[in-house]
Amino acid sequence: MSKIRMFFLTIYQWFAVQYAKNGMLGGYVHDTAMAQYIPPNTFHCVTGTWTDIAGQVAGTICRHKAATAETSIVNIPITIVSNSVALKGALLKSVEVDYEIQVAACTSVTGAIVKVVRGADLAVAVVSAPACTQDLVAAVGAASVEQHKLTVSLTVPAWIDQDEIYFLKLTIVAAATSTVDLLAAVANFTERI
């Protein structure tokens, strides 16, 4: 047998042993500083008159709420990887929302993370609200006429199972002349694959 053939056979045998020992070939990723941008055109605006427009800053887009005294609910899907194996996939830590309030302050802006466990065939989904906190005070810092970055953090970060869906529920209580521009959201998580 030639030396080159023997060399490649040895390499192949080494890879086969590694595959058998680890169940896979390749590396392992454990990154604690992952972030996923969520564009405003994916936000689900339940109440209010919303339109997709150019943002205040050139080259940006936003979801714009017209001035009306009302409570608007906006569901922001958290689109990150999930896994059926425990402690793999994404460990959701927090979600940041960039938005702008113009003309008049809102009464309040609050964020809450919602978890939906998909139902099995012929079963309904189960909705729950994991404990979370937000960094801006709902009726003060989060509601003023200004550009905002609201961070909503899970009290206990959660590994996302393949049968779970997470979203951020943003509740905006607007005054009659308040306009709101939703600019983006970012999910912060650990990825382990």
| Interacting residues of 101 by C-beta distance below 8 A, sequence separation 6+ | 109, 143, 144, 145, 146, 148, 178, 179, 180
**Residue 21 maps to a domain:** no
**Residue 86 maps to a domain:** yes
**Residue 15 maps to a domain:** no
Q: What range does the domain containing 73 cover?
A: 28-192
145: CATH: 2.60.120.260
Tokens of 170: 């943003």
Residue 165: per-residue pLDDT:
95
Task: State the pTM of this model.
Answer: 0.83
**Residue 120 maps to a domain:** yes
**Residue 154 maps to a domain:** yes
Instruction: Please count the structural domains in the chain.
Output: 1
**Residue 5 maps to a domain:** no
In order along its 193 residues, the chain shows pLDDT tens digits of 577 777 767 777 776 666 655 555 556 788 999 999 999 999 999 988 999 999 888 889 999 999 999 999 999 999 999 998 888 899 999 999 999 999 999 999 999 999 999 988 888 999 999 999 999 998 899 999 999 999 999 999 999 999 999 999 999 999 999 999 999 999 999 999 8
**Residue 7 maps to a domain:** no
**Residue 37 maps to a domain:** yes
The whole-angstrom separation of Cα 68 and Cα 63 is 15
Residue 1: per-residue pLDDT:
59
